[in-house]
Chain A
Amino acid sequence: AQSVSQHNHHVILSEAASLELGCNYSYGGTVNLFWYVQYPGQHLQLLLKYFSGDPLVKGIKGFEAEFIKSKFSFNLRKPSVQWSDTAEYFCAVNGKGGGNKLTFGTGTQLKVEL
């Protein structure tokens, strides 16, 4: 069975600090990888996705993620966070050819302080 682990449940950073959120997955096949974000009071929205090719993918709002196949990881990074990045971040995976069934991690609540 596929699973996703997000090891950081709560992260507190000051503005301008760098961010890295960990994501590891377990899946017996080729995967697509996603990071979703849920801002307070808003819908889940896609930050970025990895399908194939360059393992370093860039998303919206200055976020990027690196797929390291040997480590089954897809960590999210941002060089300098802003107060408006305060949100919950979810890593998700689905198997190629498996439709749209997403397996989500438990989420990381990020709080950015001024």
Chain B
Amino acid sequence: KAGVTQTPRYLIKTRGQQVTLSCSPISGHRSVSWYQQTPGQGLQFLFEYFSETQRNKGNFPGRFSGRQFSNSRSEMNVSTLELGDSALYLCASSLEVQAPYEQYFGPGTRLTVT
């Protein structure tokens, strides 16, 4: 069974630009969560989508947004990039059959903002 895939794996953007990251969950998983990982702040929750609806949201500014499609694939968008947005962005999916729901993480997208 294929794992969680994220594209692209690496990205370099300039301050002020916007970026879209993509996540394909494990087949059959309907919950997709996004996390930001930085050396200073560690792993921080961005948002979670379930059946195309945002179910949870972390404490990030409105420049960070996401969506989920009917096939459970998810995208996150960051507008007006800042240097501090440089991070590893992780996507995780969950089957939600029996609690607690195990989340399976993808390899991440390494975003560098210059």
Binding site for B on A (CB under 8 A): 32, 34, 36, 43-46, 49-51, 90, 92, 94, 96, 98-107
- 7 A-B pairs within 8 Å (CB atoms) are namely A43-B105, A43-B107, A46-B102, A51-B99, A90-B43, A100-B56, A102-B103
Task: Using A99-B48, A99-B50 as known contacts, say yes or no to A49 and B102 having CB atoms under 8 A apart.
Answer: yes
> What's the interface size class on B, roughly?
20 to 34
Report B17-43 CB contacts with A as 1/0, cut-off 8 Å. Answer: 000000000000001010100000011
Contact of B45 among A44, A46, A102 (CB under 8 A): A102
Instruction: Classify the secondary structure of A's interface with B.
Output: strand
Instruction: Classify the secondary structure of B's interface with A.
Output: strand
Interface residue? B87 (CB, 8 A):
no
Binding site for A on B (CB under 8 A): 3-4, 31, 33, 35, 42-45, 48, 50, 55-56, 58, 90, 92, 94, 96, 99-103, 105-108
A101: chain B residues within 8 A (beta carbon)? 33, 45, 48, 56, 58
Contact of B56 among A36, A43, A98, A107 (CB under 8 A): A98
Task: Using A43-B107, A99-B55 as known contacts, say yes or no to A104 and B50 having CB atoms under 8 A apart.
Answer: no
Tell me, rounded to whole Å, the shortest Cβ–Cβ distance linking A28 to chain B.
Answer: 16
